[in-house]
């Protein structure tokens, strides 16, 4: 009994190896993708031109694919694999083998897509909007990434299912439950991108068919593209809900509330893709309206999360004797990188979330659509809230997995890194938001648009973005130094994998939360309701298909 | 006398530790921030379109 409990506290070294394999790819992608991001901001400042015939759209694609798809997916799968191993027990050899197959499939796919981008055969941006046409190997590579992530996720589901079988009538461990929710949401969401790639883009890029239905392809992409951002966010929420309380020495405010918010994300993250297509002709406004309403439903679990986190902090602070309205803020462990790095991420989610509500509102989308405001928005959500939380996780998880310690020096460097990141992002994302409100376009290289006054007014903001991008690149160098130190050089020791406990242990989470038939049924019903009729409409009234374009 | 004071103090602390007034204030501030940013951009929309 004791040995099994002890075995649970530490992630098994065989599982640790697979998690670390994911992290090496993730941080490798961060290094290359980060450099591409720096170059983009320099080009857009107008003071720098790319050498050797490298195209702006090529580095833009590399940045988006490496950061948005590779860094995130690999980190998330590695983290969730370790979290399930830690809380639901060591993976079985079969589950571990499945995980490795998934990992290698994703890595192979990443290499295929990456090589095609480097060869300038796939400068179609990470959203690969048809009728921009990339080399078929790029699409096939991304298919391997997606299929690999399904196989990888299956390993987590296998171990979760084993736990459920061995513990009938018991709610599963919170972190495992959350990991499985995110994996299931990912599988349902990626069906859309798999459909457009397999049935449209691959046959088209192979020359088997001449034309592509652009609107169908974009609709399938955004069916996937919005839950994608929740797939990034939910692992950060796993840390905020279930790990941070333990790090600060407090308790999870409510285990049931955390589970309910994850279920709401599963239900409401998917049938909302039209809010990315509000300016798209060919979709009935009534269905856009419906999906905007469903988008706004996601605000509910987000605000539940905000409440729950404030409550966790306040309860902890008051238990330490803090008084006054905000006295509890003072007693939080501000010197602990494992806390403050994700905390800066949480705080950034306040403007990030507010910006998201603006994006999703139909009228305001007319103000910000396709402007660099949107780029500023997702650099707050994904590239600050999510990524800083991932950095904060890696500061204890990497040494935990490699049998090392987070030293005082690395802890300090981690805190410096987070502030550098925050300052760089304040410049870059802030300038992007303001430039977007002035109409500055996203996804575009430097241009003065025939010296028009409006475009000239954007240049100071673009220079501010280059300043921010440079500071952020310093942040990337710092985090890579810390990662390499924790993976290879930090002193040997035991670093804790913190798993929080609920405040009220008597309050058992309702078993209905584990009723997958029910939640997947409701999710499917919502998706069918939101998409069936408009999709039939889109296909029946389709304009002629488009041939492929290679604009670079 | 001293004992009574000590008791009264402890009592206040227990009551205070279950208070979530800071959380309430925080979520109100958060809500206010969301509304102010939304209305600002809505104003831009009304102004431009």
Q: How far is A326 from chain B (nearest CA, A)?
A: 6
Answer whether B22 sits within 8 Å of A325, measured CB to CB: yes
CB contact under 8 A, A354 and B33: yes
Which residue in the block uniquely carries the two structure tokens 């966790």?
Answer: A312
User: What CATH number corresponds to the domain at position A160?
Assistant: 1.20.210.10
Residues of B in contact with A327 (CB under 8 A): 22
Distance to chain A for B28, nearest Cα, Å: 10
**Based on C-alpha coordinates, what's the Rg of chain B?**
22
Question: pLDDT at position B4, please?
Answer: 52
Helices (H), A320-452: 327-330, 337-360, 362-368, 372-380, 387-402, 408-437
DSSP assignment of A45-92, as one string? HTS---STT--HHHHHHHHIIIIIIIIHHHHHHHHHHHHHHHHH-PPP
User: Residue A258 falls within a domain, yes or no?
Assistant: yes
Judge whether A98 lies within some domain. yes
Total CB pairs under 8 A between chain A and B: 71
Quick check: B34 and A353 CB within 8 A? Answer: yes
How high does pLDDT run on average in chain A? Answer: 92
For residue A133, give the nearest of A237, A187, A204, A56 by alpha carbon: A204
Which chain A residues touch B17 with a CB distance below 8 Å? 315, 318-319
Q: How far apart (Å, rounded) are the C-alpha atoms in residues A314 and A329?
A: 7
Instruction: Specify whether the CB–CB gap between A399 and A405 falls below 8 A.
Output: yes
The pLDDT value recorded for residue A277 is 92
CB A245 within 8 A of CB A305: no
Q: Return the structure tokens found at A124.
A: 């179609």
**Could you state, in order of their start, the residue ranges of all structural domains in chain B?**
20-49
The pLDDT of A55-82, averaged and rounded, is 94
d(CA A118, CA A244): 39
Cα separation, A28 vs A63, whole angstroms = 12
From the list B17, B37, B42, which residue is nearest A319 (CB)? B17
Residues of A marked as catalytic: 226, 230, 377-379, 442-443
Helix and strand numbers (H, E) in chain A are: 21, 0
For the CA atoms of B38, B39, B42, B43, the dihedral, rounded to the nearest 10 degrees, stands at -150
Secondary structure of residue A419 in the 3-state scheme: helix
Contacts of A355 in chain B (CB under 8 A): 37
Which residue of chain A is at minimal alpha-carbon distance from B37?
A354
Confidence grade of residue A5 (pLDDT, cut at 50, 70, 90): very low
* Beta bridge partner(s), residue A441: A371
A147, A152, A157, A162 alpha-carbon torsion, rounded to 10°: 130
Predicted pLDDT at A2? 40
Number of domain units in chain A? 1
Flag whether the pTM goes above 0.90: yes
| A482-516 pLDDT per residue, tens | 999 999 999 999 999 999 988 877 778 888 899 99
For residue A372, pLDDT over 50 is answered with yes
Q: What is the pLDDT of residues A161-189, one digit of tens each?
A: 999 999 998 899 999 999 999 999 999 99
Q: Encode A259-290: b = buried (16+ Cβ within 10 Å), e = exposed.
A: bbbbbbbbbbbbbbbbbbbbebebbeeebbeb
Q: Is the pLDDT confidence value at A71 over 80?
A: yes
| Structural contact between residues A270 and A191, judged by C-beta atoms closer than 8 angstroms | no
Nearest CA in chain B to A320: B17
* Integer CA distances (angstroms), A180 to A24, A40, A186, A261, in order: 23, 36, 10, 14
What number of other Cβ atoms are within 10 A of residue A44's Cβ?
Answer: 25
Q: What interhelical angle do A174-196 and A136-166 show, nearest 10?
A: 150
Phi and psi based region of residue A128 (left: phi greater than 0; alpha: psi -120 to 50; beta: remaining): left
Query: What gap in Å lies between CA A375 and CA A361, rounded to an integer?
Result: 17
Domain extent, residue A338, equals 2-540
Domain assignment present for A547: no
Q: Which of A48, A56, A35, A122 is nearest to A445 (CA)?
A: A56
Region for residue A324 given its phi and psi (left: phi exceeds 0; alpha: psi -120 to 50; beta: otherwise): left
Residue A3 — pLDDT band, cuts 50, 70, 90? very low
CB contact under 8 A, B17 and A315: yes
Picking from A362, A370, A305, A438, the residue whose alpha carbon sits closest to that of residue B38 is A362
The label of the residue with tokens 């300043």 reads A467
Contact B38/A354, CB-based, under 8 Å? yes
Rounded CA gap, A442 and A435, in Å? 10
Question: From B36, which residue of chain A is nearest by alpha-carbon distance?
Answer: A354
Distances (CA, A) of A148 to A43, A68, A107, A236, B17: 35, 16, 8, 22, 48
A323 contacts B18? CB cut-off 8 A: no
Mean pLDDT in residue range A6-28: 87
Q: Which DSSP state fits A496?
A: -
Contact A56, A45 (CB under 8 A): no
Region A381-385 average pLDDT: 95
pLDDT-derived band at A1, boundaries 50, 70, 90: very low
Kindly state the average pLDDT of the residues A339-362.
93
Residue A313 belongs to a domain: yes
Tens of pLDDT along A387-406?
999 999 999 999 999 999 99
Measured CA to CA in angstroms, residue A380 lies from A360, A369, A473, A500 at distances of 16, 17, 16, 27
The Cα angle at residue A78 between residues A233 and A340, in degrees rounded to 5: 55
What CA–CA distance (Å, rounded) separates A256 from A182? 17
Return the closest-CA partner of residue A132 out of A27, A61, A224: A61
| Segment A309-322, tens digit of pLDDT | 999 999 899 888 88
- As to burial, measured by CB atoms within 10 angstroms (0-12 exposed, 13-18 middle, 19+ buried), residue A408 is exposed
Contact A544, A211 (CB under 8 A): yes
For A99-144, what is each residue's pLDDT tens digit?
A: 999 999 999 999 999 999 999 999 998 888 899 999 999 999 999 9
Round to whole Å and give the CA distance between B27 and B23: 6
């Amino acid at each position: 009994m004791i040995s099994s409990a002890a075995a649970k506290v530490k992630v098994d070294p065989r599982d640790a190896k697979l998690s670390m394999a994911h992290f090496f790819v993730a941080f490798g992608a961060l290094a290359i993708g980060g450099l591409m991001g720096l170059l983009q901001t320099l080009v857009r400042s107008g003071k720098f031109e790319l050498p050797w015939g490298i195209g702006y759209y090529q580095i833009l694609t590399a940045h988006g694919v490496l950061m948005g798809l590779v860094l995130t997916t690999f980190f998330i799968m590695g983290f969730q694999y370790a979290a399930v191993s830690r809380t639901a027990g060591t993976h079985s050899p079969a589950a571990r083998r499945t995980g490795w197959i998934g990992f290698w499939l994703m890595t192979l796919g990443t290499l295929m897509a990456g090589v095609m981008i480097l060869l300038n055969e796939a400068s179609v941006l990470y959203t690969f909007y048809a009728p921009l046409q990339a080399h078929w190997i790029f699409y096939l590579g991304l298919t391997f990434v997606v299929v690999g992530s399904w196989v990888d996720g299956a390993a987590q589901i296998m171990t979760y299912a084993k736990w459920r079988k061995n513990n009938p009538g018991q709610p599963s461990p919170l972190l495992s439950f959350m990991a499985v929710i995110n994996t299931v949401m990912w599988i349902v969401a990626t069906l859309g991108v798999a459909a457009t790639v397999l049935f449209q883009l691959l046959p088209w890029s192979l020359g088997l068919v001449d034309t592509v239905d652009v609107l169908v392809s974009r609709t399938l992409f955004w069916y996937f593209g919005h839950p994608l951002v929740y797939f990034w966010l939910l692992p950060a929420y796993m840390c905020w809900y279930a790990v941070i309380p333990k790090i600060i020495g407090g308790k999870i405010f409510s285990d049931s509330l955390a589970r309910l918010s994850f279920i709401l994300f599963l239900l409401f993250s998917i049938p909302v893709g039209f809010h990315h297509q509000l300016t798209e002709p060919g979709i009935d406004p009534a269905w856009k309206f419906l999906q905007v309403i469903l988008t706004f439903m996601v605000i509910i679990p987000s605000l539940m999360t905000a409440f729950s986190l404030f409550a966790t902090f306040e309860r902890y602070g008051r238990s330490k004797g803090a008084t006054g309205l905000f006295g509890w803020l003072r007693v939080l462990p501000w010197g602990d990188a494992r806390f403050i790095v994700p905390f800066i991420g949480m705080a950034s989610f306040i403007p990030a979330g507010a910006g998201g509500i603006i994006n999703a509102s139909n009228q305001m989308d007319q103000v910000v659509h396709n402007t660099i405001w949107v780029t500023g928005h997702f650099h707050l959500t994904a590239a600050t809230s999510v990524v800083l939380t991932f950095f904060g996780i890696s500061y204890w998880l990497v040494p935990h997995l490699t049998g090392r310690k987070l030293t005082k020096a690395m802890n300090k460097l981690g805190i410096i890194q987070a502030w550098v990141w925050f300052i760089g992002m304040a410049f870059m994302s802030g300038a992007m938001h303001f430039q977007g409100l002035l109409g500055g376009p996203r996804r575009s290289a430097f241009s003065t648009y025939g010296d028009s006054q409006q475009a000239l007014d954007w240049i100071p903001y673009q220079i501010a973005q280059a300043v921010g991008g440079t500071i952020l690149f310093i942040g990337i160098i710092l985090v890579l130094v810390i990662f390499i130190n924790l993976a290879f050089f930090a002193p040997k020791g035991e670093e804790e994998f913190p798993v929080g406990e609920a405040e009220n242990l008597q309050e058992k989470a309702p078993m209905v939360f584990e009723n997958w038939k029910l939640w997947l049924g409701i999710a499917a019903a919502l998706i069918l309701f939101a998409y069936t009729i408009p999709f039939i409409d889109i296909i029946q009234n389709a304009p002629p298909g488009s041939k492929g374009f290679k604009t670079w | 006398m001293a004992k009574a004071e000590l008791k009264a103090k402890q009592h206040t602390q227990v009551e205070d530790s279950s208070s979530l007034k800071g959380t309430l204030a925080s979520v109100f501030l958060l809500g206010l921030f969301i509304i102010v940013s939304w209305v600002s951009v809505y104003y831009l929309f009304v102004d431009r379109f």
